[in-house]
Amino acid sequence: MKKLILYTKFIAVFLFVVSCSNNENQPVLTIMPLQTAVSVSDLRSFIDTVIFIPLINDSNNLISEVSKILIDNNTNILLLDHMQGVKLVDQNGVFIRNIGAKGRGPGEYQDIEDLSISSDGEYLLVLQPTGVLKYRISNGKFINKINLSGKNYDAICSSEDGGFFLFSSNPAEESNFDKPFYALTLFDIKGNIKREFLPRKDFVFTQGIFTQSYDKSTIMRPQEGDNIAYKIGKEIIPFLKIDFKNYAIPPKYIFKDGGDLFEGMKNYLFSDYYKLPIHIHDTKDYIYFSSIGPSALQNDFVFSKSNNKGFRWVYERSDRDPLFIMASDSTYFYTVIYRDREDLKVGSSKNANLRDFIMYKLSQMPNSNHDAFIVKMKFCNNERS
């Protein structure tokens, strides 16, 4: 019996490897951020276009804290606001509808872990601690709930057959690497487990596991102990290798302080390595991602797909909260910014990072009653750097 279990696990891993290798003749895009990205202190020469889309704060469209953006098949924008729920707006920022509602009743949600649009573009999948809620995007109505048991899941990604992948970062004993633990699980449309993938190699942080690519596939960021990002669509395909060379975080580095998780995380973040390539987004021509560098400072990178050259900026400790890019289409990257007088003062005087630059551009706009904006950005050709 033991041999059968081991054989079954081997087959599961083998199938994952095979599925990831179906396009092995296609070269994986490899970038070496520290060798080929120019460090910049003024972003004005590197961003071609900025478009501000005001979000109107009326009784239907209150925006307070957006943590994720998805773009549906009609180019409408889904916003995950942890205070207000999920909202759908058009490309002009005009409110269309709520998707579901916050509450404790049937079909309502409290805490949302993650969102994903179904592969056919018709449904929104909402991951909660207790299950997956399914809503029709065209009217915002609740369809059904799939209950979950067992692991605590952190992220969701739709699969081509109407089911979904769930990602679980760590087992209950987070520092124990001896027991088998698979991070990625494929469920069918009814919530039955079909397969498990990705035996865990290292401690995993939960941020930015899945992001939406411009082509509506899903990007799964590299895991600790790995430097390969995958695209999940009809197949699971190696997409991007991010190679920090000698400055890549060594395996299991977080646990060098006697197994104390808090001290280990502090040691990890403040180390002299580059770690956590997260928030990976791509347009047709460019790739963006963020990484935590030495002294726990956020470093953001933009690369051209055509020549692998790029540029980067860093948020110093004295800077206000870093700004992440949160979505993309074939041309533009998207984020959300909030009008803040202190930020406007700082942003009008320097352009060293993306937040500074956007606040600088916002300070040049006429005063308005709008406090929140979707921002669309188009980067310049990296050869200009």
* CATH code of the domain containing 112: 2.120.10.30
Put the strands of the sheet holding 123-128 in their side by side order: 114-117, 123-128, 131-136, 142-147
Q: Are 97 and 139 in contact (CB under 8 A)?
A: yes
What's the pLDDT at 342?
57
The pLDDT averaged over each successive group of 10 residues in the chain (385 residues) is: 37 40 62 93 91 76 82 96 90 92 88 94 94 96 90 93 92 78 93 90 88 95 86 89 93 74 85 93 96 95 92 86 93 90 56 89 78 92 49
The tally of domains found in the chain comes to 1
What's the pLDDT at 5?
38
The answer as to whether 8 is a domain residue is no
Cα distances from 258 to residues 119, 199, 204, in angstroms, run 44, 24, 18
The answer as to whether 95 is a domain residue is yes
CA dihedral of 280, 293, 275, 64, whole degrees rounded to 10: -50
Helix (H, G, I), strand (E, B) or coil at 272: coil
The answer as to whether 21 is a domain residue is no
Residues 6+ apart with CB under 8 A from 185: 151, 153, 165, 166, 167, 168, 193, 195, 196, 197
pTM of the model: 0.88
The answer as to whether 149 is a domain residue is yes
DSSP string, 253-264: GGGTTTT-HHHH
Burial of 371 (0-12, 13-18, 19+ CB in 10 A): middle
Closest C-alpha to 302, from 222, 226, 383:
383
Amino acid at 250: P
C-alpha–C-alpha distance, residues 177 and 154, integer Å: 19
Tell me which residue has tokens 């190696």: 238
What's the pLDDT at 362?
86
What's the pLDDT at 381?
64
C-alpha–C-alpha distance, residues 310 and 288, integer Å: 10
The answer as to whether 12 is a domain residue is no
Amino acid at 148: L
Domain that holds residue 59: 29-384
The answer as to whether 7 is a domain residue is no
Pairing of strands 77-81, 85-89: antiparallel
The answer as to whether 326 is a domain residue is yes
Cβ atoms within 10 A of the Cβ of 121, count?
Answer: 14
What's the pLDDT at 344?
55
C-alpha–C-alpha distance, residues 273 and 246, integer Å: 8
What's the pLDDT at 253?
83
**For residue 49, what are its two tokens?**
């276009």
C-alpha–C-alpha distance, residues 35 and 222, integer Å: 19
The answer as to whether 16 is a domain residue is no
Amino acid at 88: L
Tell me which residue has tokens 């993306």: 354
Amino acid at 132: V
C-alpha–C-alpha distance, residues 365 and 375, integer Å: 13
C-alpha–C-alpha distance, residues 110 and 97, integer Å: 18
What's the pLDDT at 65?
82
